[in-house]
Amino acid sequence: MSNGEQLSLFDQSALTKSTPTNTQFQLIPTHAKIPIPSGTYDTIEPLTEHCNRCQRCELGATRTHAVVGRGNLKAPIMIIGEGPGQNEDETGLPFVGKAGQLLEKILAAVKLDTEKDIYICNIVKCRPPGNRVPTPEEISACKPYLLEQIRLVDPKIILLTGATAVKGLTGDKRGITKIRGTWMEWDGRLCMPILHPAYLLRNASREQGSPKWLMWQDIQVVRAKLDEFLS
């Protein structure tokens, strides 16, 4: 494909002259049918810029901020959630509401630091209205960004919080309660589905077999696996 043909795949009105960088233009894929090839981004910064200007699906019209990620860009563990909520949409950061605060406590309990050991992101980068589940079309439109994040961070372990995250990345449609706490391989990477912290907030019990108890078992297994990698 010629350079002219490549440029025709992008909205010409979105091309802007950049300050001195490695690229002459900041190209924004404006339609979900336009692929974002692996290796498109050298760093997370241009990916973040494109997400904040992206219109690959209808969620771009209603967002306040794109919610790309937070944490260590070379973290050994990546946590992938479903999508931003209101707090995340307002701040541009994932998992900063009550569910995120609970997640931080769970991680801290096994001495995992979100600034050192963890990178957190979501299947979709923009908040679905009313916090509904993102549609398959929205997930598909946003997935190339997620795949680039995984490539750039290169985590040893990926934790998938909830069924939407599992299905969105791996295509596995099984219920989260059936597969949580089990290791699975995706694209040569070690993944574990875990319960979403929002689900834990709705289930306060700490008794054996409860969601919080199950999460505690799972996160200890994750900690042990990371220690294996680091030893």
pLDDT in tens, 148-193: 999 999 999 999 999 999 999 999 999 999 999 999 999 999 999 9
> Which two structure tokens, joined as six digits, stand for 98?
């009550």
CATH of the domain at 204: 3.40.470.10
Across the range 84-112, mean pLDDT stands at 96
pLDDT band at 19 (very low <50, low <70, confident <90, very high): very low
Give domain status of residue 78, yes or no: yes
Give domain status of residue 1, yes or no: no
Give domain status of residue 41, yes or no: yes
pLDDT band at 28 (very low <50, low <70, confident <90, very high): low
In the chain, beta strands by DSSP E: 70-71, 77-81, 118-122, 157-161, 184-186, 189-194
Residue with tokens 């909205």: 11
Phi/psi at 132 (5° precision): -70, 165
pTM of the model: 0.87
Give domain status of residue 4, yes or no: no
Identify the pLDDT of residue 22: 40
Across the range 191-203, mean pLDDT stands at 96
Q: Which distant-in-sequence residues (6+ apart) come within 8 Å of 14 by Cβ?
A: 26, 27, 28, 30, 53
Rounded Cα gap, residues 207 and 198, in angstroms: 18
Q: In what order do the strands lie in the sheet with 157-161?
A: 70-71, 118-122, 77-81, 157-161, 189-194, 184-186
Summarised one tens digit per residue, pLDDT across range 108-133 is: 999 999 999 999 999 999 999 999 99
Query: What is the number of structural domains in the chain?
Result: 1
Give domain status of residue 55, yes or no: yes
Decide: 25 and 19 in contact? Cβ < 8 Å.
no
Identify the pLDDT of residue 24: 31
Give domain status of residue 18, yes or no: yes
Decide: 95 and 120 in contact? Cβ < 8 Å.
yes
pLDDT band at 136 (very low <50, low <70, confident <90, very high): very high
- Residues counted in the chain: 231
- Residue 125: give the domain boundaries: 10-230
Rounded Cα gap, residues 77 and 113, in angstroms: 10
Give domain status of residue 2, yes or no: no
Give domain status of residue 169, yes or no: yes
